[in-house]
Chain A
Amino acid sequence: MSLQLQGIARTVGGSIHLHPVDALLEPGLHVLLGPTGAGKTSLMRLMAGLDAPSAGRILQDGQDVTGVPVRQRSVAFVYQQFINYPSLSVFENIASPLRLKGQERGAIERRVREVASLLHIDHLLDRLPAELSGGQQQRTAIARALAKDARLLLLDEPLVNLDYKLREELRTELRALFERRGAVVIYSTTEPIEALTMGGSVLVMHEGRVLQAGPTAQVYHHPASEAVAEVFSDPPMNLVNVEVTGGTARFPQGLELPLTGHLGMLEDGAYRFGIRALHLALRPKPGLPFLPARVELADISGSETFVHVHAEGLDWVVQEEGVHEHGLGEPVTVYLDPTRLYAFGPDGRVRAAPARGRGG
């Protein structure tokens, strides 16, 4: 089954929730990536048929399903909140779509147990949803969606309300589950790391538009624009305005960088250079260009330290391996790897991107 969107848009009471979207989604996993309010949920509700598009058509396997009510489509939907039927047991929750299809008792029983064991909730089948933990409730919701064997499976930030450990675990399990299905699976998330872990292909969304679509790794390495680079980078890509004249980039701090490699072809003019936090360093790296800056904040997360630095014309985040202490306002030197620089034009389109091959 394939899902085709032809210029679907949605306007509610004069405010635009979604600009026209065109996409052809083949069976497999597709990640919708975008910050909160980017229109991910709006788009998924249109795909499912829960809302009607203001314009455009939706085709399933070439058939127009735009006006078909959701209950006649082959769709399953998992919400960010844990949505189950509170008055039905876990077993009945998972069985409900199967019962409505009129399957016979034995087949339903087998299918429910099979799906429940995939999601490790087979020992909870007699309980009510309210008696489960959040993670188990969401597993129940996912199990109900999987049991139905729908041709279009939509998951709207399904793991966002779960704790960190559980999220990592479920993410890996889900990826394995999706790989075995011939359905179109749409998975939305706000986290670039989650998109990269899930793999498949990605649609990057921002302010009601689909900015870029393609295989996840490719979009990550070759963002088409500054906006995509910012959305698909955690922490957001560090940006700085530079002047390029005669093959040299002039940074506001007086750093002059001779342009070579992928940046060598840049014409003279104003650019915004971008670089990911993990390609910056505070410890001296011989041969690399550097900038003076001051520490604003050091944020320790797990085994990494995110150091927010400020200098005239830039607010950057440097990702350092290991736990490091930094005093507020402490002067530091930021080393940057010029082979990892992105160059964006004044219109936000990418002009030069680093060649792939040396990791993220």
Chain B
Amino acid sequence: MKGRSIALVVYFVFLLLPIYWLVNMSLKTNQEILSGLTLFPREPTLANFHTILTDPSWYMGYVNSLIYVVMNTVISLSVALPAAYAFSRFRFIGDKHVFFWLLTNRMAPPAVFLLPFFQLYQALGLFDTHIAVALAHCLFNVPLAVWILEGFMSGVPKEIDETAYVDGYSFPHFFVRIFLPLIKAGIGVTAFFCFMFSWVELLLARTLTATNAKPIASTMTRTVSAAGMDWGLLAAAGVLTIVPGALVIWFVRNYMAKGFALGRV
């Protein structure tokens, strides 16, 4: 028992150390960061956060990221829900192969799709738009969403669908009124995974945008200048990047536990 708690404490220290370091740095001035090791800021300052939250060239990075992440989550869910329903309820030619093929989309690194996406979006005039990034991320999120949702949907007995038809429900009515409430935990878990992938993905988001839809992660590279690195500002931006993810996890934490228990995550 004792050994286990020590191991846990050590684990948490290692886990939290980088986050502590980041928060610590974001509250310091650049002189203090560069002058030597201090475990707590000598003169705590919120100047770094102030800069980010007042300068549009900074905070628009967050806004852009949030726009395409939310777009992506909404598109992924609305496409994956009917697809997952089909996979869980109907048997059609090649259903198992298509289901597997969907997953293979996730097996290639995003860099593989970089050039085709770049060329395609240039040609279609989608370059540097939010929808461009959202659609590119769908390539990875839709298969995952279908996979997770199919697991949850297969846990709902088919007899419930049939009872609804016998009662006289039309399909859309049944789907929204009866079926979706039954898999809301699955929808929560799926939304979380789509959100997280899209939020942390850097390569596609950076390449497919220039100025109008520039994500926060590529804004952060701005801090490198001729005058050197603005460490404090960079750290503050990093702290703010963790916040949306932490919020989302907080809201879906109960669903997550259920999702893991059902074994499709």
For the complex, give the distance between the alpha carbons of A86 and B159 in Å. Answer: 12
B155-188 residues with Cβ-Cβ distance < 8 A to A are 157, 159-160, 162-170, 178, 181-182
Residues in B with CB closer than 8 Å to A148 are 167
Q: Report A-chain residues with C-beta under 8 Å of the C-beta of B165.
A: 50, 69-71
Which 9 A-B residue pairs are closest in the complex by CB-CB distance? A87-B181, A100-B168, A97-B167, A83-B159, A77-B166, A71-B165, A71-B168, A70-B165, A79-B159
What is the bound-complex CA distance between A241 and B37, given in angstroms? 100
Q: Report chain B residues within 8 Å CB of A81.
A: 157, 159
Cα distance A148–B166 when bound, in Å? 10
Q: Which residue of A75, A85, A101 is within 8 Å of B166 (Cβ)? A: A75
11 A/B residue pairs, CB under 8 Å, sorted by A = A50-B165, A70-B162, A77-B163, A79-B159, A79-B163, A83-B163, A84-B163, A85-B164, A85-B178, A86-B160, A144-B167
B169–A71 contact, CB under 8 A?
yes
* A101 adjacent to B168 (CB under 8 Å): yes
Which residue in chain B gives the minimum CB-CB distance to A156? B159
How big is the B interface, by class?
A: 10 to 19
Q: Residues of B with Cβ closer than 8 Å to A?
A: 157, 159-160, 162-170, 178, 181-182
- Is the beta-carbon distance between B166 and A71 smaller than 8 angstroms? yes
Cα of A144 to Cα of B160 in the assembled complex, Å: 13
| B contact residues around A101 at 8 Å (CB) | 168
Judging by beta carbons under 8 Å apart, are B160 and A83 in contact? yes
What is the CB-to-nearest-CB distance from B95 to chain A, in angstroms, rounded to a whole number?
14
Cα distance A79–B158 in the bound complex, in angstroms:
11
Interface status of A224 (Cβ within 8 A of chain B): no
**A87 touching B178, Cβ below 8 Å:** yes
Q: Which residues of A contact B (CB under 8 A)?
A: 48, 50, 69-71, 75-77, 79, 81, 83-88, 96-97, 100-101, 144, 148
* CB-defined contacts of B170 to chain A, threshold 8 Å: 71
Q: CB-CB < 8 A to A87: which residues of B?
A: 178, 181-182
Q: In chain A, what residue has the closest Cβ to B162?
A: A50
**B167 partner residues in chain A, CB cutoff 8 A:** 71, 96-97, 100, 144, 148
Q: What residues on B are CB-neighbors of A97 within 8 Å?
A: 167-168
Across the interface, which residues of A come within 8 angstroms of B181, CB to CB? 87
CB contacts (< 8 Å) of B182 on chain A: these are 86-87
Nearest-CB distance from B148 to chain A (Å)? 20
Contacts of A83 in B (CB 8 A): 157, 159-160, 163
Q: Which residue of B lies closest to A69 (CB)?
A: B165
Given A83-B163, A96-B167, A100-B169, 19 other A-B residues pairs in contact with their CB atoms under 8 A: A48-B166, A50-B162, A50-B165, A70-B162, A70-B165, A71-B166, A71-B169, A71-B170, A77-B163, A79-B163, A81-B157, A81-B159, A83-B157, A84-B163, A85-B164, A87-B178, A100-B167, A100-B168, A144-B163
Q: How far is the CA of A148 from the CA of B167 in the complex (A)?
A: 8
Q: What is the CB-to-nearest-CB distance from B153 to chain A, in angstroms, rounded to a whole number?
A: 14
A231 to chain B, nearest CB (A): 26
Complex contacts, A48 vs chain B, CB 8 Å? 166
A81–B158 CA distance with the chains assembled, in angstroms:
11
Cα distance A85–B174 when bound, in Å?
A: 11
Bound-complex Cα distance A342 to B18 (A): 87
What residue in chain A is nearest B170 (Cβ atoms)?
A71
What separation, in Å, do the CA atoms of A75 and B165 have in the docked complex?
Answer: 10
B171 to chain A, nearest CB (A): 9
Give min CB distance, B49 to chain A, whole Å: 43
A75–B163 CA distance with the chains assembled, in angstroms: 10
Closest to A141 in B: B163
Chain A residues with CB under 8 A of B162: 50, 70, 77
